Structure 1
Amino acid sequence: MRTRKTLTPVDLAHARSVAVRAVEEAGTLLHPRSRGELVVRTKSSTGDVVTDLDLAAEELIVERIREVFPEHRIISEEAGLLDAADETWTWLVDPLDGTNNMAIGLSNYVVGIALCENGMPVVGAVHDPVRGETWSAVRDQGTRGPGGLIVTSPPRAEPHGAVLAWSQGYACRDDDVARALRVTLESRARRVLQLWAPLLAWVMLARGDIDGFVGYRAEAVDLPAGSLIAREAGLVVHDFDGFPFDDRFDRPHDRSFVAGHPRAIPELLDMVRAADRVTIAGLPG
């Protein structure tokens, strides 16, 4: 078993400022160029793509982190693991969350970074280049948005149901469980958004734009920053069994979750459990 080594303590407020600077600079790089001609290539059998802008934003972010924390590990969406001496601290970088959207001309994309201590996210930052807004959090110190510290209000009673976001990992496109979950959510919610930019969904949840977020086998790189921002805004995240979600990125599990205000969680869990009674055709089993 590999022994973790730690070299220096980290000032989390300073780490937040580094993360915010990095995502905002990456956003400044991305936004004006997103409307131009992109170099796009497929990077997996699931149809996921990467562009020249993903790589440029990634290079910029890694450089900004290395300038201040050269001893920290980095795991980035495109480059993978960039190892270093201090194994206690790991930065997770999603340089362009929503690449598939950008590639077809949709402006739903963000930049996200998390800093994890022994696998646990302690700093998160997400920047929306289109809106020019940044959201960031430090564990146990709250979430900051454009107007300062925020606390998400309880969901309003909606006679026609909740507005939810849905996300699934790229590896489960043909997954029967994912299909059953979507059928159930769409039959019981007012609207289900599939943004193909999970970090944007987390920010919308923290802002109070949507009532809940359901994820099935989420990707490890973009989840921690978003879940931390939501938690620190007063929201909660549970696994499908109803237990508090373990958001350590290096713990092997399927990373399925429901997230929302504490008052919304029972209904979200009820929807998830109802999916067990749904066949692929969307009929009761």
Structure 2
Amino acid sequence: MSESVLDLDAVHATALDLARGAGELARRFAAEGFGSVADIDRRIVHHLAARYREHGVLSRESGDHGPDDARVRWLVDPLNGADNYRVGLDLYGVTFAVLLDDHPQVAVVHDSASGRSTSAIAGRGAWQEGRRLSVAAARPATQLTVAWIEGSEVAADDPLRQAALHTLERSTHRVLRTGAPARDWALLAEGGIDAAVVLRGEPWDVAPGSLVAREAGAVDTRVGGFTITGVPGSLRGLTALLAAH
């Protein structure tokens, strides 16, 4: 069905090219001390508007573009991990998801610092620079490394946030709070970590990476106010930890 409406291979190639270009621009801007995320975003949006006039675009930086009734919509974060970037930490990237009727079909999470891209097409698997990806083997909860991803509206003193982090930090091996979901999702897909726990995440932070992770073998579950994506055999213990919150 999606192939008849959307050329998945062409869209995937476009998303990869744009993500790599955006990452290179961010690195250059950081090194040379000029340019901004708005400049990167403008190039992406203009390219998509010229190539796919019938598609919509929702950018973290500049909002909605294109037809309101578009069946195909691009979610774009041109500088994922912007707070890290601003203070000189090499933990930032670019995220793209292409949705057909609100269902993700193509995703790219690009690590701008390393130049490495991780991507997926629905039903075809996840890949990183030509290598097919697979999530890690199942482990008990005490051995899990878990990425924590939260939306920008989640306050530091949010009771649910505080309680969940306390539980995870006490009961798992490690909780990563990188501030760069693009990197977290790539780590999950390549088997470097075991799960991602999302609390009220932004669409740019969740849709691209969760498709990549699922295509590498991860599964999703919801418990309380959380979405957990991770290694199938590891989710039971993690879900039990968060169920009380």
Mark yes or no: TM-score above 0.5.
yes
- What residue in structure 2 maps to residue 167 of structure 1? 149
Cα displacement string for residues 183-204 of structure 1 (whole angstroms, at most 9, x for unaligned residues): 1111111111111111211111
The yes-or-no answer on 1:192 pairing with 2:175 is: yes
The unaligned stretches of length 5 or more in structure 1 are 1-7, 39-51, 242-253, 277-285
Aligned partners of 2:9 and 2:182: how far apart in 1?
A: 21
- What residue in structure 1 maps to residue 6 of structure 2? 10
Match of 1:164, SS state, is strand
8 Å Cα contact 1:206/1:233 also seen in 2: yes
How many Å apart are 1:86 and its aligned residue? 5.1
How many Å apart are 1:19 and its aligned residue? 0.5
Aligned partners of 2:174 and 2:30: how far apart in 1?
A: 28
> Alpha carbons of 1:177 and 1:85: their partners in 2 closer, same or farther (altered >3 Å)?
closer
8 Å Cα contact 1:72/1:85 also seen in 2: no
8 Å Cα contact 2:53/2:66 also seen in 1: no
- What residue in structure 2 maps to residue 106 of structure 1? 89
Aligned residue type for 2:11: A
Aligned partners of 1:70 and 1:149: how far apart in 2?
A: 32
- What residue in structure 2 maps to residue 64 of structure 1? 47
Aligned residue type for 2:114: R
The yes-or-no answer on 1:257 pairing with 2:227 is: yes
Match of 1:187, SS state, is helix
1:212-227 equivalences under 5 Å are 212-227=195-210
How many Å apart are 1:166 and its aligned residue? 0.6
Match of 2:192, SS state, is coil
The yes-or-no answer on 1:34 pairing with 2:30 is: yes
8 Å Cα contact 1:18/1:64 also seen in 2: no
8 Å Cα contact 2:37/2:79 also seen in 1: yes
How many Å apart are 1:232 and its aligned residue? 0.5
Aligned partners of 1:119 and 1:175: how far apart in 2?
A: 29
Cα displacement string for residues 72-127 of structure 1 (whole angstroms, at most 9, x for unaligned residues): 11000011111326521110000000000011111100101110011111110111
Match of 1:115, SS state, is strand
Please, what TM-score do these two structures have when normalized by structure 2? 0.92
The yes-or-no answer on 1:268 pairing with 2:238 is: yes
How many Å apart are 1:156 and its aligned residue? 5.0
8 Å Cα contact 1:92/1:222 also seen in 2: no
8 Å Cα contact 1:95/1:111 also seen in 2: yes
Aligned partners of 1:188 and 1:36: how far apart in 2?
A: 44
Aligned partners of 2:40 and 2:234: how far apart in 1?
A: 36
Aligned residue type for 1:25: G
How many Å apart are 1:31 and its aligned residue? 1.1
Aligned residue type for 1:200: R
How many Å apart are 1:161 and its aligned residue? 2.4
The unaligned stretches of length 5 or more in structure 2 are none
Please, what TM-score do these two structures have when normalized by structure 1? 0.80
How many Å apart are 1:147 and its aligned residue? 3.5
Aligned partners of 1:269 and 1:190: how far apart in 2?
A: 15
Match of 2:198, SS state, is strand
Aligned residue type for 1:258: I
Give aligned pairs, total: 241
8 Å Cα contact 2:74/2:96 also seen in 1: yes
The yes-or-no answer on 1:87 pairing with 2:70 is: yes
- RMSD over aligned CA atoms reads 1.8
Larger radius of gyration: 1
The yes-or-no answer on 1:25 pairing with 2:21 is: yes
8 Å Cα contact 2:95/2:204 also seen in 1: no
